[in-house]
């Protein structure tokens, strides 16, 4: 069998959207690997808000 029902359904949705395979390989600095072990941190809401303000 080619894959699970969920995988096949997701591929059909992606094909209809014109993106037959939009999955990208993940490295140590991308995807979930980039945030695992980092969130939630011990920053306060004010510290997070200040950092977000600096990014914009």
- Using one digit for the tens of pLDDT, what is the confidence trace for 2-19? 566 666 677 777 676 665
Q: With 60 as the cut, is the pLDDT of residue 25 above it?
A: yes
For the chain, state the CA radius of gyration: 18
| Separation of alpha carbons 22 and 13, rounded Å | 11
Q: Which residue has the higher pLDDT, 47 or 36?
A: 47
pTM of the prediction?
0.31
């Amino acid at each position: 069998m080619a894959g699970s029902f969920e995988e096949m359904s997701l591929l059909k949705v992606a094909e209809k959207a014109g993106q037959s395979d939009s999955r990208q390989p993940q490295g140590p600095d991308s995807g979930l690997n980039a945030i695992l072990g980092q969130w939630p941190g011990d920053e306060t809401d004010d510290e997070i808000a200040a950092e977000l303000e600096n990014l914009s």
